[in-house]
């Protein structure tokens, strides 16, 4: 692939190990860009030039354009929101036009994405991204994508990918960088950057980035190990409670799985202790492992944080809602399907709305599909065609394992032998600097992540292992086994789902959707509804459940295979008449022989959706499209309903705290933007978590820069004030713990009625006495919350509101992520005051350890009406355009904030009725 050589400042992933020198260099480059952008947007003497520059990058949406490579004319019809509907007479023309139109609106975004997936961010953004590129090159997303393209994908899929790339390159042809996007115009003041041509593999690699953010429980695997430095086995078990199957229903309740019998033996349980004091992964208990994992896996956590996150911070709150209701329970008599993926807020939105229509559906032109696409990839990811509709939520399958590796000379030990590393050289080109060459080493378990970070060199030096482990010498390395590093056919699945006509074809297509593993909801115009769990999900030997790093030298800890697609759970037309997926457990653990994961979401959202559906169906009620929309915006707080009665019983003497406590009287637990009660409760919840749990966690899990006076980790004697040390947190605020998600709901629920539980104990401070009971800790949290909100919102509680705390700022994901204020002003938008909250159906997520700001959102919302597809509804977080001063940059955001949905035209008659601009692409 041709290499770009550019120097600028760009996306700076949050890490806990940034150096002052790195920041100074970044600020210097940003300063240059600020000056350039000031000219671009018309500040000072550049006003005339700036207007022409900005407008020159806007897409042509009327008239006609000749494109070499088209077989026939293509119509691009845009509605009042700039959403395009494309009409063509062949598949190749359809996808070529898709590439052209997406590049018109979003090429800067596409260009940055491909530099991310290929580990080439340094070529755009300089030496600050070298560490990130090293990690990405070690993972090898682009290399695996190339293997998929060369040897796995069908000839039709390759043909579509080539057509798409041809369309993108037709848009780029003859254009200067400044004609493509205003960001390029800014870059032009500091270097001679010129975008290179698009390739089919650039599109395939994007699925690897999608898979990375939805990879499962790797962070939980790391966190459980880090916790051993301060907590014992029973305490860690408290923090990872069993999924509440009796209360929060799994997805599949009446379903099936083919070819599986009860003769299969369930795999081991999470982190259980065996008789010899070892965990199920062959690692010793907390005492031996404490010092080791504290320093070792912290480095890996930092490295993971450095990877640019496509979908946002990981955690139990991240996921999506999707549910489908059969026609027996709808006012139309046909199914309704809703979906709203919860992803990081980005500008432009990750999603791009689009319709792809063959004028006549034939063997040579097979598509009539509309929905949400990814810029840079052909096809529709979530949406509907003329026969079916589908939604997606993250299944959360455990498809990654970390392995300790014992090095010997130039190889590693496995099953009593020394095997050679598989190696490759990677050259990282750096804008404004010298290139850097790295060597990537792989074992039979995958690439060595420990080669990529100075902290990771220490991995395994003190890791607890059993007595049969090989001598550690200078330590063990850490390798990653991940299904996405095996070439697969997920790109085939996108097109197969887009043209599926019924349940049988849909399920067949799902067998190729290997990575990432998603919950697929389904409905069709014939009235059927269904659910399918696809994905390439590993099987492990009994006693190894993937919850902790495993010894790579022992063959019995290798993956034993993969669950056959025919054996994955599904459900079709259940008697209850609806299916809900919101990242909860897929199937009851006692009713399915395989372990899909040990780290589900805990079902707060899914059960709330189920309750809302059941309440609507009582007495023979029917559900409408509007009912589905209202369910999507439900902001009820489960943890508030659980804790508020306890909080109201506490005798509060301070009149100011009592004044705040009264806000909770009569509150219905809804989290509207204007609610003072929601603001106060969430502040109380945050302080309960901090006092009961957060201050007791190791520094690697606490927020970077937040410092405490603590007992040394190696102190095994009685508390000694003289031995306390100052210890500061090291994790990014949006991924620290306790994050307040529904795992923490379950943790607190289990100890709530144990008023003297040890977790309720908190040491005295200069201003607060020691707490020994639940109510003492709650009282202290209520007081702390009162004064926290006084500082943030003012003394007068009549002015308090949840939205003033809980705000959304949309940031351009490159030049707008950080830097001087003017740069942010030019490219970013907001803030907006939001309702909703953590683990609510309206999942405007926030991290309780880090603050109240919104860190993930329902990135789009849709409700598909199978009785009349033209009466379906949709909304995007931002708008169709990636151009900062285009009318469609954020034209959907206000409606999104208010919970509104746009009309979603599908048939040609309906599309013509809403079309405002038509562009004809001519051969």
Kindly report the average pLDDT of the chain as a whole number. 85
Q: Of the candidates 710, 708, 663, which has an alpha carbon nearest to the alpha carbon of residue 682?
A: 663
Return d(Cα 146, Cα 142) in angstroms, integer: 6
Q: Could you report how far apart the first and last alpha carbons of the chain are, in Å? A: 28
Interval 494-540: pLDDT, tens: 999 999 999 999 999 999 999 888 999 999 999 999 999 998 999 99
Beta-ladder partners of 75: 87, 920
Residue 360's pLDDT is 97
Residue 756, pLDDT > 50, answer yes
Considering only residues 85 and 220, tell me which one the structure prediction assigns the higher pLDDT.
Answer: 85
Question: Where does the pLDDT of residue 34 fall: very low under 50, low under 70, confident under 90, or very high at 90 and above?
Answer: very low
pLDDT at 149: 97
Distance CA 484, CA 486 (A): 5
| Residue bearing the bigger pLDDT, 899 or 451 | 899
> In this structure, are strands 74-78 and 917-922 parallel, antiparallel, or unpaired?
antiparallel
Burial class (CB in 10 A: 0-12, 13-18, 19+), 265: exposed
Asked if 567 contacts 259 with a C-beta cutoff of 8 angstroms, the reply is yes
How many Å apart are CA 669 and CA 675, to the nearest integer? Answer: 10
| Residue 291 reports pLDDT greater than 80 | no
Enter the tokens of residue 689.
Answer: 């978590």
Tell me the pLDDT band of 916, cut-offs 50, 70 and 90.
very high
CB 9 within 8 A of CB 29: yes
Query: Can you say whether residue 371 is alpha, beta or left, with left for phi > 0 and alpha for psi between -120 and 50 degrees?
Result: left
Between CA 16 and CA 733 the distance in angstroms is 10
Q: So what's the pLDDT on residue 213?
A: 64
Q: What is the pTM of this model?
A: 0.89
DSSP letters for 309-370: PSS---STT-EEEEEEE-GGGBTTSS-EEEEEEEE---BS-SEEEEEEEESS--SS---EEE
Summarize pLDDT for 693-745 with one digit per residue, the tens: 999 999 989 999 999 987 665 544 455 555 678 899 998 898 899 999 999 99
pLDDT value, residue 363: 95
Average pLDDT of the residues in 423-439: 93
* pLDDT (average), residues 204-216: 78
- Region 888-904 average pLDDT: 98
145-194 pLDDT, tens digit each: 999 999 999 999 999 999 999 999 999 999 988 889 888 776 666 566 78
CA 28 – CA 15 distance, rounded (Å): 20
């Amino acid at each position: 692939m041709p290499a770009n050589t550019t120097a600028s400042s760009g996306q700076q992933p949050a890490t806990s190990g940034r150096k002052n020198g790195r920041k100074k260099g970044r600020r210097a480059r940003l300063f240059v860009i600020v000056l350039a952008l000031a000219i671009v947007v018309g500040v000072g003497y550049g006003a005339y030039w700036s207007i022409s520059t900005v407008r020159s990058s806007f897409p042509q949406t009327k008239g006609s354009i000749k494109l070499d490579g088209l077989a026939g004319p293509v119509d691009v019809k845009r509605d009042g929101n700039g959403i395009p509907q494309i009409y063509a007479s062949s598949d190749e023309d359809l996808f070529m036009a898709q590439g052209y139109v997406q590049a018109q609106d979003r090429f800067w975004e596409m260009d940055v994405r491909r530099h991310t997936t290929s580990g080439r961010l340094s070529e755009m953004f300089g030496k600050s991204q070298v560490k990130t590129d090293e990690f990405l090159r070690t993972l090898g997303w682009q290399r695996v994508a190339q293997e998929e393209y060369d040897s796995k994908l069908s000839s039709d899929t390759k043909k579509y990918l080539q057509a798409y790339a041809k369309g993108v390159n037709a848009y780029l042809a003859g254009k200067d960088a400044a004609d493509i996007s205003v960001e390029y115009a800014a870059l032009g003041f500091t270097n001679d950057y010129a975008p290179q041509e698009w390739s089919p593999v650039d599109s395939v690699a994007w699925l690897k980035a999608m898979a990375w953010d939805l990879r499962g429980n790797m962070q939980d695997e790391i966190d459980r190990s880090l916790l051993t430095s301060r907590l014992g086995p029973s305490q860690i078990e408290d923090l990872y409670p069993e999924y509440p199957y009796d209360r929060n229903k799994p997805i599949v309740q009446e379903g099936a799985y083919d070819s599986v019998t009860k003769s299969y033996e369930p795999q081991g349980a999470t982190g259980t202790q065996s008789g010899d004091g070892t965990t199920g992964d062959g690692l010793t208990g907390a005492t031996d492992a404490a010092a080791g994992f504290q320093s070792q896996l912290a480095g890996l956590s930092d490295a993971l944080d450095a990877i640019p996150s496509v979908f946002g911070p990981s955690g139990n709150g991240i996921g999506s809602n999707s549910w489908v209701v059969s026609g027996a329970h709808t006012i139309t008599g046909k199914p309704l399907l809703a979906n709203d993926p919860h992803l990081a807020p980005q500008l432009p939105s990750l999603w791009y709305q689009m319709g792809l229509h063959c004028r006549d559906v034939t063997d040579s032109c097979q598509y009539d599909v509309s929905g949400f696409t990814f810029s840079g990839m052909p096809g529709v990811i979530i949406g509907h065609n003329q026969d079916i509709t589908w939604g997606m939520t993250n299944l959360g399958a455990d498809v990654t394992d970390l392995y300790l590796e014992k090095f010997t000379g130039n190889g590693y030990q496995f099953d009593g032998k020394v095997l050679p590393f598989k190696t490759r050289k990677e050259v990282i080109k750096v804008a404004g600097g010298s290139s850097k060459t790295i060597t990537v080493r792989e074992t039979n378990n995958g690439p060595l992540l420990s080669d990529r970070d100075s902290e990771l060199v220490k991995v395994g030096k003190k890791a607890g292992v059993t007595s049969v482990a090989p001598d550690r010498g200078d330590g063990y390395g850490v390798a990653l086994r991940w299904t996405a590093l095996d070439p697969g056919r997920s790109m085939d699945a996108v097109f197969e789902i887009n043209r599926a006509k019924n349940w049988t074809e849909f399920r067949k297509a799902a067998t190729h959707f290997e990575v990432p593993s998603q919950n697929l909801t389904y409905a069709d115009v014939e009235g059927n509804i269904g659910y399918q769990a696809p994905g390439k999900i590993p099987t492990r030997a009994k006693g190894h459940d993937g919850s902790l790093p495993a010894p790579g030298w022992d063959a019995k800890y290798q993956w034993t295979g993969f669950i056959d697609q025919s054996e994955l759970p599904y459900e079709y037309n259940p008697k209850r008449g609806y299916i809900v997926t919101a990242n909860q457990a897929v199937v009851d653990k006692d009713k399915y022989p395989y372990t899909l994961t040990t780290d589900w979401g805990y079902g707060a959202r899914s059960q709330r959706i189920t309750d809302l559906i059941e309440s609507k169906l009582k007495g023979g009620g029917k559900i409408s499209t509007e009912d589905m929309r209202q369910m999507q915006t439900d902001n009820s707080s489960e943890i508030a309903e659980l804790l508020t009665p306890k909080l109201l019983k506490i005798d509060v003497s301070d009149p100011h705290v009592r004044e705040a406590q009264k806000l909770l009287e009569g509150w219905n637990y809804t989290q509207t933007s204007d609610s003072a009660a929601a603001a106060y409760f969430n502040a109380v919840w945050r302080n309960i978590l901090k006092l009961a749990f957060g201050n007791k966690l190791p520094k690697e899990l606490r927020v970077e820069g937040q410092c405490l006076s603590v007992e040394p980790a190696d102190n095994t004697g009685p508390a000694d004030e003289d031995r306390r040390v100052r210890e500061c947190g090291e994790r990014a605020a949006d991924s620290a713990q306790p994050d307040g998600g529904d795992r923490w709901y379950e943790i607190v629920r289990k100890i709530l009625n144990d008023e003297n539980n040890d977790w309720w104990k908190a040491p005295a401070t200069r201003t607060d006495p020691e707490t020994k009971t639940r109510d003492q800790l709650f009282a202290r949290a209520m007081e702390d919350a009162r004064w926290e909100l006084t500082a943030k919102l003012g003394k007068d509680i009549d002015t308090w509101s949840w939205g003033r705390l809980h705000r959304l700022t949309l940031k351009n994901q490159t030049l707008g992520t950080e830097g001087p204020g003017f740069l942010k002003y030019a490219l970013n938008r907001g803030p907006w005051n939001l309702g909703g909250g953590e683990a609510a159906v309206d999942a405007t997520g926030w991290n309780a350890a880090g603050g109240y700001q919104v860190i993930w959102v329902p990135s789009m919302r849709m409700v598909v009406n199978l009785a009349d597809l033209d009466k379906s509804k949709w909304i995007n977080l931002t708008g169709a355009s990636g151009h900062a001063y285009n009318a469609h940059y954020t034209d959907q955001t206000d409606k999104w904030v208010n919970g509104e949905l746009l009309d979603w035209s599908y048939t040609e008659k309906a599309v013509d009725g809403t079309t405002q601009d038509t562009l004809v692409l001519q051969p």
